[in-house]
Each structure stands twice: as C-alpha cells, then as structure tokens.
Structure 1
C-alpha cells in the first residue's frame, strides 16, 4: 500500500509550532515595547534609627555588690584594729603579772565527827606587776584555792586594790574549806607526809582591769597555777616549800 493511501486511512498528527518566546529581561531591569531598556529603579532605603534598650538591674548583681562592699569594709576594719593593737603593743609593751608563794602555814587540818575533813591554810603571796606603763586594778571576786590531786582542800578571796607600775604587793590570804568523806583523803595525806614530799596545787583566779595611761580597759581574768611540793602538813607550823612552778595566762 502506498504511503498516501496509509495517510488517508491513518492520518498523521502534525505537532503545532511552539509559541514565540519573549526575551529574558535581567532582574532589576525592564524594557519598553520597542526593546529599549528602562532605567533601573532601586527600592528606597529604610533608615533604621537605633533604639537604646534599658535593662533592669538584677537582684543577683546588687547582692554581689553589697557582699563585696561588706567584705571590703570588714577587711579595712580588721587592718585598722590590727594596726592599733600593734601600735599599743609597741608603745606599752605589756607583760603578764606574776605571783609567788612566799609562806604557807596550816592553821588547822582535822577530821570532824561526820568524817568530813576541815582545812584552814594561811598563805602569803607576792603579786608582781612588771609593766612600766600599765597599772592593774584587782577587782572584786578574786579567788585563791589549794588542791590535793583533784580535790579542793580550801579557798579564800583576794582583796580589791590597785597596783601601780613595776610594783610588788604582798597579800596575806586566809583559806578555809571542808571536804565530805574526808577519811580516805586524810589517810592519803598522812601516807604522803611520810615521804616528806606532798604535792599541792595552788590556783589563782583574779579578775583585773588594765589601765593604759588614763584609760581603763575592759575587765579580763588572770588565771594562774602554782605546783608546790611541801615537806609536811603539821598544824601551826611553818611549812617548808621545797619546789614551786607557776604558770599564768590571761583570758578575756
């Protein structure tokens, strides 16, 4: 069969020509109908005015500042206090008062009917103030006591007085005391007396006030302890003190 006959029976579809394409125009430009490019029009610039933002202070930063200021003030106060104490120390050169036991006499030492031990001691003590520019006020409430091992035998009060610069003052103190269930203690003292060496502990508790020039400072306490060794505990006899070791300290 010829080709023209085939086309009559099965007609061939002919594709339509593509539509005319418009020339591409660069972005940001345009052309007129005649093809001449139009002038470019840039978009107007926006002038942004900077705005100032105000942030509210935080509680944490305020607390940190307050804490820093507080610590700084405390450090300054400590420095000023340390400097003041150092200057006072260099000017006055303070020294602790000291005491010595001169004599010890036992007026009475006996067992009562109720088996309590009664003791009466007379002690002569010398209080020494070695300071050149510091006076000492001995206030009311000072005590002096005598102990054997851990038992207090007797005690007495210290008199109230003022002690000047580099002064030594002799104090006569009467001590009395009564110990319950003293039979065991009396037996131990008698056995110790046979050796000729009886250990006694004399303790001083003296509230004092320091005088710097015309200034009277706050009351402090002088605590002292003298370890004594005596040869006898016979009544109405002057006891020989074979050894004495005293230590003192000051407590606020």
Structure 2
C-alpha cells in the first residue's frame, strides 16, 4: 500500500452507554497501571487531538472529553478555604477615660467635703466668737520679795523669790480652768535665777484672783552672777523678766473646749535685791497671748 493518511473521527459519546472511547481507554489504563506509578494529570481541554503512527499509516484521532456538565477532578489547594487571621481587637479606649473620670470625681468629692467641713467649723467659731466675745486674761505683778539670795560653798548662787500675781478674767460668759504643768521663771539678762508654778484652780466670769507664788533656783555661776547683781544694784535699777507659760481650758457656758496655753512675759525694774528687805517695783510691762 502506498503512503496515505487515515483520519478517524470518534463520536463524543455513545448514545446508549454514555461512555466515550477516551473514558474506556482511561479506565483500562487505570487498571493496568503499576501501583508505584504516579497518577497521570487530568486532561485540561474539552477536545484533545493526537497522532498515532502504525507502520506507514498516520492516524489522527480526535478525542472529546465528557460533556460540559462533568465536574473537574482537580482538588482545590489546601489553603483555599483558610482565611487570614483577624487582627486582635484593641481594648476600648473609654475604659482609661472612665478610670480617670472616676478618680477626678473622688478627688472633687473629697475636696468638696473638706471645704464644707472647714466652712462649717469656721462658721461655728464665728458664731461662738460673736456670742461669747472672748478676751485674753490679764496678769500683773503686784509685789516681789526675796527671802534668800546667798552664795554657797560650791560657788553656786541660791535664790528664793516670792511673787504676788493678780489674774483677771474679763469675760462675762467664759470660765478658765488652770491646769497642771504651768511654769513661771525669773530671769536676769538671759540668766535664770529661779522658777516655780501656779496652783490648779478655776476662775469664774469677770473674776480677779490674787496668787502668791514661791520661786526657787540655783545657778552654778554664782560668784560671777552675784557680782553682776551687786554692781547693777548700785544704779538703783535692776531689770528682771518674769516669763509665764500656763495651760488652761476654756469653758463656754457648760461646754469645755480643748486645752490651750497662755504665754506671757512681764518686764520688771526693781530698786534692789536685798534679802528680807522691801523691794520696790519701779516699772512693769506685761504681754500675753494664747497658743493652741
């Protein structure tokens, strides 16, 4: 036979069985394939043409795939259905603002309460002041006597003074309770001569009380101090300071307030410091104040 080409065209599908020759050939090849042989990739086109050579004949075969209703056997990639991870949800920003606002509210309420209490306290003090009109007690030194002023063998100076003090309460509705722990002292040019204390007593409204207070003390620089006093006595003017520190409680009607202190200083000028002699007080000036 001479060289000639035979073209064979196969139908798309058998009308009865519905199996194409390509499907039959593929099924037969699947049964004859070795288990170690890798699977063949699926066909990607509806129509595929190839040429088969047999001897001197070339046969062009045109195979058709299954009709368009056949689904592809290619599996989707593994990450086809995987979605990218969602970003973390940021914390709500209003929580910090709420905390700050709550702290600000607490501070504002605390300040308001403190201011209110201060206003109430100031109002009470103002009302009490207007009702009772408190005044500081007055004190005066009426008499000063020296019972002893001697130089000891150890060259220390021993002094014993007697001071008569008049305490005046000028308040009409306020009483004064004199407490323990009072302190009175006599000084000469920043040198302490003697000290003592007031008795414990109650002083009523608009009352005057005369107090006799004994003061005593000892100074180790007796010789120098005695020489300075004798030299000052020749001038006829000896400056002395009487310092007072007295704790008291104020009574407003039947109400007893907290303890306060009466601080004062009386500057005296006397003519002499002779023991058992009459001492004349030439000048006196006293100042007192309250200390909470």
> Equivalences for 1:155-166 in 2 at 5 Å?
155-166=195-206
Once the two structures are superposed, the pairs formed by residues 125-164 of structure 1 within 5 Å of their partners are: 125-164=165-204
Q: How many residues align?
A: 200
Distance 1:59 1:162 in 2: 57
- Point out the structure with max Rg over C-alpha: 2
* Larger RCO, structure (CA 8 Å, separation 6 or more): 1
Question: How many Å separate the matches in 1 of 2:129 and 2:138?
Answer: 19
Give the 5 Å matches for 1:233-252: 233-252=273-292
After TM superposition, list the pairs within 5 Å mapping 1:169-188 onto structure 2.
169-188=209-228
User: What do residues 78-104 of structure 1 show as CA deviations (whole Å, max 9, x unaligned)?
Assistant: 111111100000000000011000000
Once the two structures are superposed, residues 121-165 of structure 1 have per-residue CA deviations (whole angstroms, 9 ceiling, x without a partner) of: 011000010000000000112121111111110011210000000
The equivalent of 1:168 in structure 2 is: 208
* In 2: Cα distance, 1:221 partner to 1:209 partner: 8
Q: TM-score, normalised by structure 1?
A: 0.77
Task: Give the structure 1 partner of residue 237 of structure 2.
Answer: 197
Q: Which stretches in structure 1 are left out of the alignment for 5+ residues?
A: 1-52
The residue aligned with 2:255 is 215
Residue in 1 aligned with 2:115? 75
Pairwise CA RMSD of aligned residues?
1.3
Contact 1:196 1:231 in 2 (8 A): yes
Q: Secondary structure of the equivalent of 1:58?
A: helix
Distance 2:194 2:284 in 1: 19
Q: Which runs of 5+ in 2 are unaligned?
A: 1-91
Structure 1 stretches (4+) deviating beyond 3 angstroms?
Answer: 53-57
Could you tell me whether the CA contact under 8 Å between 1:120 and 1:175 is conserved in 2?
A: yes
CA distance in structure 2 between the aligned counterparts of 1:182 and 1:164, rounded to whole angstroms: 43
